[in-house]
Chain A
Amino acid sequence: MSCSQINREDVAERYLMGSLAPQERESFEDHYFDCEECFALLQARRALQAELSANAAQLLESLRNTIRTSSPPDKVWRWGWAIGLTVILMSVGSLLWLRRPATQPPASSQVSIVRQQESTKASKAPTSQTDQTAAQITRQNSLKELARVQPPPYEPNLLRGTIDQATEKFRDGMRDYVHGDYQEAASKLRVAAKIDAQSPRIQFFLGASELLIGEDDKAIRSLQAAAALGDSPYLEEAHFYLAKGWLRKQQLVAAQQELEKTIRLQGDLEQQARGLLRQLEVLEPTSP
């Protein structure tokens, strides 16, 4: 890994957020153990992260105040549309007026001009129903963004010795998982889960695969099974991805509960879970 790659690909930031792949992470660590500049860069980012984290509430309040004083994008869009329509109508009206015979316009066209004027006025004033629909669409889009799932990383266990049937099926499925064929992975992992329903890693990766292919209900059941198996290396991730599953189904309360469980475990996903929870809290007041 080179210094230019680190700067170009925001590697230090992704390292701090725990979103580098295992090999990338090791490569970056080996690099900063030997590179003064990149280590200094990392330390500066850590200090920045710590300071931002400590003052998050204040910073968000400051941002809200900034946004309140400027026009939100959807209102700007509506006004822009109204003004554009008015210009078009006036242009058409002017053309018609210029082409008229040199006599008084008939009463019907006077009425139609008045109606055009009225409709222009009406288009300037958005209806409350339009506002509500726009707000719903904005909320849905926000939830969709928050519910987006990245495939959880998988590191194969390289222990030698005899392996049981469930592990064999698991490894088979994970070969497909690693290649991005989540449909096939889910199918094989289901077989593995039938053989060994008590394996947290099988249930977890089955749930993850099902999330990735949009089978949200099945994913939630599998991830709940993984979480129910108690303290395992997959417990934290199970709760985090359960939150994602609930977000997909727009069940915000259930999602918040899973994020709180993730946070309490104080693992790698704590910061991401805190961030998601914060965003949900911002979103919640605007929900209809």
Chain B
Amino acid sequence: MRWEELAGRVRLRDSSAEEELSKHFYPRIMAMAVVRLRDREAAQEIAQEALLAVLVALREGKLREPEKLPGFISGTARNLVNNHFRSLRERPNTVELDPETPSSIDLETEAALAEQRQSVRAALELIDPQDRAILLFTLVDGMNPREIAFRVGLSVENVRTRKMRAIRQVTEELQRLSRKKARTLLNRETVR
């Protein structure tokens, strides 16, 4: 119901609905484009084009199954990514819209990611050096547990267990820092 309702409001040119849609899906489109393209600049262009294409399609009532809005948006973004691979710089026709630009959302996404990295840095300090290396080998070097086990002199099961434990520790610390930040913001609001 939520997606149907949102799509319906966008069709009626409700600017708050468009903002809500952009804020929700822009980070997801960016994530997909960055992971696939490994080029942040190209990803930003594609994310903005995808969002524009989606908003135009919704305004024109082209989405036949509004409850499948997330799939429609992911499919649109994927097509643009594939087009980029195929033709390098193919662009859809630009359409004039209201001045609410995705670039402010992009800045938010960037700021959120930078903040998250700072939190990750703090969380990584709390875990064992060998576990940090296991995470490095997994997430950066793309090694599987067997390869890592050979590299660090542990059993495969041990590597798996330590990796899961390290990720859980980092995730819990991130959640704790996030709750602490939320409480700080709430306190500031209360004081005002």
Contact = CB atoms under 8 A, between A and B. Distances in A.
Interface of A: 13, 15-19, 26, 29-30, 32-34, 39, 41-53, 56, 59-60, 62-63, 65-67, 72-73, 141-142, 145-146, 233, 266-268, 270-272, 274-276, 278-279
B124 interface: yes
Given A44-B174, A49-B140, A270-B38, A30 B74 contact: yes
B31 A63 contact: no
B166 to A, nearest CB: 9
Contacts of B135: 48, 52
Given A47-B119, A72-B153, 11 more contacts: A16-B35, A34-B70, A43-B116, A51-B117, A52-B140, A60-B136, A63-B129, A65-B129, A266-B38, A270-B38, A272-B142
Contacts of B35: 15-16, 18, 46
B121 interface: yes
Given A30-B74, A145-B150, A275 B133 contact: no
A29 B113 contact: no
A44 B70 contact: no
* Residue picked from A59, A146, A233, most chain B C-beta under 10 Å: A59
Nearest 7 pairs of A and B residues by beta carbon? A275-B141, A63-B133, A34-B70, A33-B70, A47-B116, A17-B142, A49-B139
Given A33-B74, A46-B31, A270-B38, A59 B141 contact: no
A59 B70 contact: no
Nearest to B34: A46
Contacts of B31: 32, 39, 42-43, 46
Nearest to A266: B38
Q: Chain A at the B interface: mostly helix, strand, loop or mixed?
A: helix
Contacts of A67: 152-153
A45 B163 CA distance: 13
A18 B32 CA distance: 11
Contacts of B150: 141-142, 145
Contacts, number: 126
A104 B147 CA distance: 58
Nearest to A277: B141
Contacts of A63: 129-130, 132-133, 152
8 contacts: A39-B28, A42-B31, A44-B170, A45-B139, A46-B113, A53-B140, A142-B150, A278-B141
A59 B124 CA distance: 10
Contacts of B38: 266-268, 270
A48 B74 contact: no
Contacts of A45: 139
B151 interface: yes
Interface string B2-38: 0000000000000000000000010110011011001
Contact of A59 (B32, B136, B170): B136
Q: Chain B at the A interface: mostly helix, strand, loop or mixed?
A: helix
B99 interface: no
A270 B142 CA distance: 11
Given A48-B139, A142-B150, A29 B74 contact: yes
Contacts of B130: 63, 66
Contact of B78 (A18, A29, A62, A272): A29
A54 to B, nearest CB: 8
A59 B133 contact: yes
Contacts of A145: 146-147, 150
A63 to B, nearest CB: 4
A111 B171 CA distance: 66
Contact of B27 (A43, A142, A266, A276): A43
B142 A19 contact: yes
Contact of A47 (B25, B70, B120, B136): B120
A279 B170 contact: no
B124 A51 contact: yes
A141 B149 CA distance: 13
A50 B141 contact: no
Contacts of A50: 113, 117, 120
A103 B165 CA distance: 64
Nearest to A65: B129
Contacts of A62: 129, 132-133
Nearest to B31: A42
A48 B147 contact: no
Nearest to A17: B142
